[in-house]
Structure 1
Amino acid sequence: MKTHVRALVVGGGAVGCAIAYHLAKAGWDTMLLERDELTSGSTWHAAGLLPLFNMNYATTHIHKYSVDFYKTLEAETGLNAGFSICGNLRMAQTQERMDEYMLYSSVAETAGVYHEFLTPAQIAERWPLVRTDDLKGALFHPQDGYINPADVTQAMAKGARQHGATIVRKAQVDSYRWTGSEWIVSGRMMVDRGGMLLAGEETFEIHAEHVVTATGNHAQRTARLLGIKIPAIPVEHQYIVTESDPALVEWRKAGNPEHPVLRDADAKWYVREERGGWILGPYERNAPARFLYDVPESFRADLFQLDLERIEEEYMSMIHRIPTSETVGMKDDFNGPICYTPDGNPLVGPAPGLRNMWLAEGFSFGITAAGGTGHYLAQLMTAGEAEIDMASLDPKRYGSWMTTEYAARKNEECYEHVFILHHPDEERTACRPLRTAPAYDRQIALGAQMGQVNGWERPNYYGPVDAPADFDHSARSFRRGAWWQYARAEAEAVRETCGIIDASAFTKHLLRGPGATAFLDHFTCNKLPKVGRINLTYALTDAGTTRTEYTIVRLAENEYYLISAGAWTDYDADFLMKSAEDFMAAGGGYLDIHDVTTQWGVYALAGPNARALLNEIVKDGVPETVLSNKRFPWLSWRNIELGMCPVRAVRVAYTGELGWELHFPIEFGRYLWDLIFSVGAKHGLKPVGARAQNWLRQEKSYRAFGNELGRDATPMEAGLDRFIDLSKDFRGKQAMIDTGIRSKCVTLLIDGPEDADPWGKEALVLDGEKIGRLTSGGWSAAFDKQIGMGYVRPDLAEPGTKLKVRMLRQLFDAEVAIDSPHDPENLRIRKDG
């Protein structure tokens, strides 16, 4: 057994074997350890389905890669993975479900996933055993189907061995220890002594430069051994296998093709053929999370007791959809653990706080995602970045505030929502409210309808306090929801009078020390601000793409206050801390860094009347001048007093209007909110939510991290040249220059449908060819039409270029606008008074 390898993969399911395969193929000396037999975790009882449908851009690419990759395995390894390319038919009983499919269609188009739409008549003609009289239509992926999970895993394992990987079974990892340059992984092996397996007779110790954990249901044990949090906890998933259906048998005897995998999304189940019968897999309510802290040592390739009452509704709906199944008995049943995360996407990427430790955990669709995860994670490890932005799957998207109880309850909710409509304005209710800013109750009283970001409750919009009985605040839509009219009024208030936005969820770090200036100067790409000033800047990856966006507030010569996106607190903190450690290890000056996110609240006050409002409450010898351009210019900060509240005021506005971000000790939040509202009425003050803010920032072409900004585009491609100082050396500079301009970020004004706006997932088209995609979308109050931001070919980025955007399967006119189409000269934001 080897004792030194470059990469050690822990876990021998489909995901682990795919990672070992791709690392070995990339030329890394790779070993895989499996505590039992390959496939003995959730892989062995998986149904083997390969659904391409996913609203997440990165996950869509992962699933597509897997489907394509699996088709090549037999030629490479000689092992047939049992891939039945029968297609996947996702049916819709309602128009709203069809709207979901039409939005997905744009995501699929941008990722190159082929799909078709079928009418009920076309379904009935091709598969007459399926009842269609109550269907609106269906989405059909003809190029996928299902695969044998054990066979595809063994094929990838053989391929990994062919590329030089070592696979060791019966090896239980018990500890991980980082020496500063490598991991030492220790554990126990079961050894064969004359045909008798004796557990724990031999111990092992392996030295590895990199470790990847793909431990499936054992993720909580892995988290404990590593001293981190991993919100991957299994949920029970049942499926049943019926006896032969005579009608199906006759159908196949007549020479007809296998039915596609059937998904009645509104009935919350999938069905596929299985030896003349059917497999039914429901996603029912009240499926419990299991193994919240550990998997019992005795639980190997085991199952749970079936709970047929829990899936009765889904079973009856299968009979409704496939009437011939009514008289067919049940032959077999499975109820096993399937790992979930709170948002349903896996955790793929560097582990928080650890060096060279990589996670591949929380796969609810592990067979579908295995191949693509292996491919893109191997790119991250061997090349530094993947060809797609993997941030949406990064393990650090969940902060250290996350608890086991939270993960378990949210994972149960996620399981139940597999087939519940995935609205872009969806807000799930489990475990809420949890993290609340001080003015939360005040905002609820004003009609705030809350969303959540990184666990924080944040107003999405403010609806009517005295709404009529039939007004449904919880109504969601793929078109304009009930909230739309209120978000529009909020956007108009910011443009015409004044609005206040609770931005307390912003990530905030305090960085100081003798090395602070030298560190930040190399860590970010823009000039550092002078003391008393601020700037917008970017930290790059080593590949030259955008890793983090920062507003830097320079408090003193070597003291800085860093503001970044609220959704990415631990993601940003991890990169900042590791980079700082490297700086100090290389001989840079001492750095002191603190995450002060929960210590400071933030209200963004913006609009033509913002200065006049603040003048009424600011405490200063000459209050009418303290906020003037002379004393408080744009892109500067000051310590001021608003009533009895000390405030770090920053003159900047994400909405593009005259305004300030008011940063205050968080315990003053309720007092300051009440103080602002005590004088707000005469200035037309209106509370504003995140949806209106999102529309407003697009009118100013302000890029958003996770949308326009990410690890698949450089700041130059994002059109941020004015925030790049090429005269200095900074991390990722040469890689950014060498990358060149592959695509360009633009703002588009759109003449779209009367009842829908783009969501930022849509394809951009020219002469029938896809030439880009939207990354943001919404409504423009300033231009009275739809607006969006996205990436196009560089030759199509000139203002005035006419394009098409695909919405609801139709093409609508779009025109590339100038950058910052609303107030391009920033006269409003610089307004004096």
Structure 2
Amino acid sequence: MTDAQVLIIGGGAMGVSLMYHLTKAGWRDVVLVEKNDLTHGSTWHAAGLCTHFAHNPTIQELRARSVRLYRDILPEETGQSCGFHRSGAMRVTSNPDRMDEFRHVAGLSDFTGYPLEVLTPERIAELHPLAKLDGLIGGIYEPDDGHVDPTLATNAMAQVATRNGAKISRYNPVRSIHREDGKWIVETDKDTFRATHIVNAAGTWGWEIGHMMGLNIPSVPVLHQYLVTDTIPEVTDRINAGLPELPMIRDPEESWYVRQERDGLILGPYEKDAQVWSIDGVPPEFGADLMPPDLDRVEHIIEAAMDRVPALMNGGVKTVVNGPITFTPDANPLIGPAHGLDNAWLITGSSMGVMEGGGSGWFLAHWMTHGAPPMDALAVDSRRFGTWADRDYRVDKAIECFGLQFGVHYPGEERPAGRNKRLSPLHQLMLDRGAVMGAAYGWERPNWFSDTPGDIAHESFRRPNWFLHVAHEVETVTTKAAIADLSVFSKFDVIGPDARSFVETLGANRAPANGRIGLTHVLTPAGGVLSEFTVTMLSDTHAYLTSAAAAEQIDLDQLLSHAEGKDVSVINRCEDFAVIGLMGPLSRDILRAHTDADLDNGFPWLTAQTLDVAGRPVRALRVSYLGELGWELHMDRVHAEHVFLTLEATGKPKGMGYYGAYAANAMRLEKGYRGWGSDLTTERSLHEAGLGMFARAKGRDFVGRDAMLDREDRDDRWNMVLLEIHNSEFDPFYAHSVLQDDQVVGIVTSGAYGHRTDKTLALAYLRDRHATEGLSVSILGRKCPATILPKAPFDPDNTRLKS
């Protein structure tokens, strides 16, 4: 038996990058096992494209770090080239919505420091003289993009890692995995390993290795084809003239990419009807293998590419590559801790394994070394899918993601595949009342309500078709009352003699008194915000915690870990309980009709009681995310329909309506309330987020305490502000750069139009916290003046909440 500090399973770009970065971080006894040879699976046949284009700062950083690693760092460390070509890349379009997307990504990139150039048709012709301009309205240019030789890059990382002490065991497939005496026991053909940490980096085989670990890995191999041409005279002429390599060109509307390959071109199409492969297990003999060409499937895309780049017609097809790449349900990789398992990690599922591999290894190595990711991890966190992501879901979403590889990423986009996985007991009642549904962690939830049967959201970067509907919902909440299905909350009971001490040491805030409601934030070791819980102390021995839907597995892991050594039980109530929100100035009158409780002086703001409502037991929490008088009513799901219909029957004659997630988002911004996952992330501390009032460090010990206090006094501390944006035709959403004059000083994390205040609002972090005057926000390429609001623009004294 061989002991290892960490055992990495999988020798593609992702696993080898992790091995490289762990050894650079000082880890020793790092072992990588690979069933074939390095790069076998999907890395070896990848086209090697590398880009900085991304809609999320974390994804962009993974890609940018990969470029720097392949282009600069590895050649310096090894003395050998990784075959990186800094060709630049462009995306072109005939779609106005796509141009909005390009402007938005360019604005994000101004903040992250990887500036991208929005193109006119004339500039496209200048950069890529072989492309026809017919129908094009513009594009975007990524000057530092390029392509790399995947095999050279992977082997270079392996060379440095083994020089630093790592060991690689090739042609050594894993046969079984289990836990024994706090260690991972991994049996392979050649040896049995006893490891403290285990990492699934198996890529194409990620589902199978996950199955051995006891995990559901929501990834599916999908076959992707690209063709390599013979010599093309136009390319040869450029080479002979000493001209630079052509930039890569992508036409997302027609779903293809083209890049230069020596004196020819590579064309890669993405068809809409993707072909999944080996869903439930890859053939054991599969290694550096390919499928037969199937160009009939993509003939129409090839023809479209030839129309745009006619030189493609002047070179015959030399090679067709048809091999598997893995897709997760959102096309982002799975990186981070494995849910429910100690010292188990994932770095797998990337459809862009070479493009993101170098950065992904850095990301997970930092997480494993420091106990927290180096950046916000939500876009890649391996726990963002639950057991509801079953076989049908992962297949349907993989096909959808492949077909929409070049789809427009609208703000708040809702894609149709894989829906109706988790339904609240009020689901059909919501549909009957005109709810237009969205998805949150598998749950169906009302986004907004329409009086037109079959209405859907017309997605846009500009003001959407649901704007006036949301305005009506907000007016109803503000002037009368409205009811909502809030069952998507993550919900947990903590029961036992140590329940109070459990909450007292869980996060940065103290436990509330019995019958009171408080807010506590679990921190990372670096002092960032990992989780946000609304905590209700029902008694000294019973705490009830709620949090965001998408945080279910992340938060459950934290609660179970914190419970070790304490006399408590943590019970996941996500499927057991339903939640009804009843909000607005008439909410008390409506609720009073169905309970004997004193809802006036006997039920103040931020308190909780167990009530009999319409003859059913309910945990009633007087709390509101909207800034209005109201209650959250938590109950066993079997009681939800009865309670809802009873309240509705009383409320409708009083003008009561319904509200959804979009109205809630607009109203919470008018109160300046922060949202977990957007405004609150592991990157920023409570003080940076403007929530220092929830940091009660004196006389207490909790994870991240000292780091949080240290960050409070640092000169480079960021600062969250609530902005009013002026003269904007568009409503902000996320990732818009904040400028002072022409200097980028911050980034928007969330935004919306506030219907109660008639203000366009955004929460933003200023990385220069002294830059408070002369601000503007860049929205779709337009600078809109902005001012910092010193207090919430709606009911700043909480008069309505306390009424």
Under a length normalisation based on structure 2, what TM-score does the superposition of the two structures give? Answer: 0.97
Equivalents in 1 of 2:219, 2:269: separation in Å?
Answer: 21
**Which residue matches 2:722?**
747
Equivalents in 1 of 2:233, 2:133: separation in Å?
Answer: 20
Shift of 1:552: 0.8
**Which residue matches 2:673?**
702
SS in 2 for 1:419: coil
What is the identity, as a one-letter code, of the residue corresponding to 2:478?
R
**Which residue matches 1:20?**
19
Shift of 1:480: 1.1
Contact kept? 2:757, 2:793, Cα under 8 Å: no
SS in 1 for 2:802: coil
Equivalents in 2 of 1:327, 1:491: separation in Å?
Answer: 60
**Which residue matches 2:522?**
539
Structure 2 counterparts to residues 70-219 of structure 1, below 5 A: 70-72=70-72, 73-189=74-190, 204-219=191-206
Structure 2 counterparts to residues 633-712 of structure 1, below 5 A: 633-712=604-683
Shift of 1:78: 1.6
**Which residue matches 1:793?**
767
Structure 2 counterparts to residues 539-578 of structure 1, below 5 A: 539-578=522-561
Question: For residues 92-137 of structure 1, what are the alpha-carbon distances to aligned partners after superposition, in whole Å with 9 as ceiling and x for unaligned?
Answer: 1111110011111122222211211221112113322101131111
Shift of 1:307: 2.4
SS in 2 for 1:396: coil
What is the identity, as a one-letter code, of the residue corresponding to 1:591?
V
Contact kept? 2:200, 2:210, Cα under 8 Å: no
Matched, 1:601 2:602: no
Equivalents in 2 of 1:143, 1:17: separation in Å?
Answer: 24
SS in 2 for 1:21: helix
Matched, 1:772 2:746: yes
Shift of 1:327: 4.6
Equivalents in 2 of 1:717, 1:424: separation in Å?
Answer: 25
SS in 1 for 2:44: helix
Equivalents in 2 of 1:752, 1:36: separation in Å?
Answer: 60
**Which residue matches 2:268?**
281
**Which residue matches 1:762?**
736
What is the identity, as a one-letter code, of the residue corresponding to 2:245?
E
Of 680, 691, 703, 1:731 maps to 703
Equivalents in 2 of 1:544, 1:338: separation in Å?
Answer: 37
**Which residue matches 2:488?**
505
Question: For residues 554-573 of structure 1, what are the alpha-carbon distances to aligned partners after superposition, in whole Å with 9 as ceiling and x for unaligned?
Answer: 11211111111111111111
Question: For residues 231-266 of structure 1, what are the alpha-carbon distances to aligned partners after superposition, in whole Å with 9 as ceiling and x for unaligned?
Answer: 122111111122222233223323322111110011
Shift of 1:411: 1.2
Matched, 1:489 2:472: yes
Pick closer, same or farther for the CA change 1:116–1:212 going to 2, 3 Å.
same
Question: For residues 170-224 of structure 1, what are the alpha-carbon distances to aligned partners after superposition, in whole Å with 9 as ceiling and x for unaligned?
Answer: 12222233334432322113xxxxxxxxxxxxxx122322222210010111111
**Which residue matches 1:200?**
none
Of 224, 227, 236, 2:214 maps to 227
Equivalents in 2 of 1:385, 1:109: separation in Å?
Answer: 26
**Which residue matches 1:824?**
796
Shift of 1:737: 0.9
Equivalents in 2 of 1:354, 1:106: separation in Å?
Answer: 39
SS in 1 for 2:801: coil
Shift of 1:821: 2.7
Structure 2 counterparts to residues 577-616 of structure 1, below 5 A: 577-581=560-564, 584=565, 589-616=566-593
Shift of 1:474: 4.0
Structure 2 counterparts to residues 263-662 of structure 1, below 5 A: 263-465=250-452, 473-581=456-564, 584=565, 589-616=566-593, 618-620=594-596, 626-628=598-600, 630-662=601-633
Q: Which consecutive residues of structure 2, in runs of 5 or more, have no partner in the other structure?
A: none
Contact kept? 1:425, 1:477, Cα under 8 Å: no
Equivalents in 2 of 1:74, 1:627: separation in Å?
Answer: 71
Q: Return 496-505 or 672-681, whichever deviates more.
A: 672-681
Q: Return 502-511 or 103-112, whichever deviates more.
A: 103-112
Matched, 1:805 2:777: yes
Question: For residues 607-645 of structure 1, what are the alpha-carbon distances to aligned partners after superposition, in whole Å with 9 as ceiling and x for unaligned?
Answer: 1221122223x231xx6xx211x1111111112233233
SS in 2 for 1:670: helix
Equivalents in 2 of 1:235, 1:752: separation in Å?
Answer: 46
SS in 1 for 2:777: strand
What is the identity, as a one-letter code, of the residue corresponding to 2:25?
A
* Percent of residue pairs identical: 38
Question: For residues 488-544 of structure 1, what are the alpha-carbon distances to aligned partners after superposition, in whole Å with 9 as ceiling and x for unaligned?
Answer: 222232222222221101000010112222122111221211221111111122222
What is the identity, as a one-letter code, of the residue corresponding to 1:525?
A
Contact kept? 1:340, 1:411, Cα under 8 Å: yes
What is the identity, as a one-letter code, of the residue corresponding to 1:766?
Q
SS in 2 for 1:530: coil
Equivalents in 2 of 1:85, 1:793: separation in Å?
Answer: 31
What is the identity, as a one-letter code, of the residue corresponding to 1:745?
M
Contact kept? 1:90, 1:140, Cα under 8 Å: yes
What is the identity, as a one-letter code, of the residue corresponding to 1:446?
R
Of 217, 232, 237, 2:224 maps to 237
Pick closer, same or farther for the CA change 1:739–1:422 going to 2, 3 Å.
same
Contact kept? 1:750, 1:815, Cα under 8 Å: yes
Contact kept? 1:797, 1:816, Cα under 8 Å: no
Contact kept? 1:83, 1:146, Cα under 8 Å: yes
Equivalents in 2 of 1:815, 1:683: separation in Å?
Answer: 39
What is the identity, as a one-letter code, of the residue corresponding to 1:546?
V
SS in 1 for 2:645: helix
Q: Return 519-528 or 668-677, whichever deviates more.
A: 668-677
What is the identity, as a one-letter code, of the residue corresponding to 2:769?
D
Contact kept? 1:700, 1:820, Cα under 8 Å: yes
Shift of 1:328: 3.5
Shift of 1:453: 0.3
Contact kept? 1:745, 1:797, Cα under 8 Å: no
What is the identity, as a one-letter code, of the residue corresponding to 1:748?
L
Equivalents in 2 of 1:825, 1:792: separation in Å?
Answer: 25
Pick closer, same or farther for the CA change 1:65–1:752 going to 2, 3 Å.
farther
Contact kept? 1:640, 1:647, Cα under 8 Å: yes
Equivalents in 1 of 2:418, 2:115: separation in Å?
Answer: 37
Equivalents in 2 of 1:218, 1:819: separation in Å?
Answer: 53
Question: For residues 433-469 of structure 1, what are the alpha-carbon distances to aligned partners after superposition, in whole Å with 9 as ceiling and x for unaligned?
Answer: 22111222222222211100011111111123258xx
Equivalents in 2 of 1:803, 1:825: separation in Å?
Answer: 27
What is the identity, as a one-letter code, of the residue corresponding to 2:512?
P
Contact kept? 2:457, 2:466, Cα under 8 Å: no
Two-structure CA RMSD over aligned residues (Å): 1.7
Q: Return 772-781 or 167-176, whichever deviates more.
A: 167-176
Contact kept? 1:652, 1:660, Cα under 8 Å: yes
What is the identity, as a one-letter code, of the residue corresponding to 2:301?
E
Equivalents in 2 of 1:517, 1:421: separation in Å?
Answer: 48
Contact kept? 2:12, 2:154, Cα under 8 Å: yes
Shift of 1:702: 1.1
Shift of 1:313: 1.9
Contact kept? 1:48, 1:147, Cα under 8 Å: yes
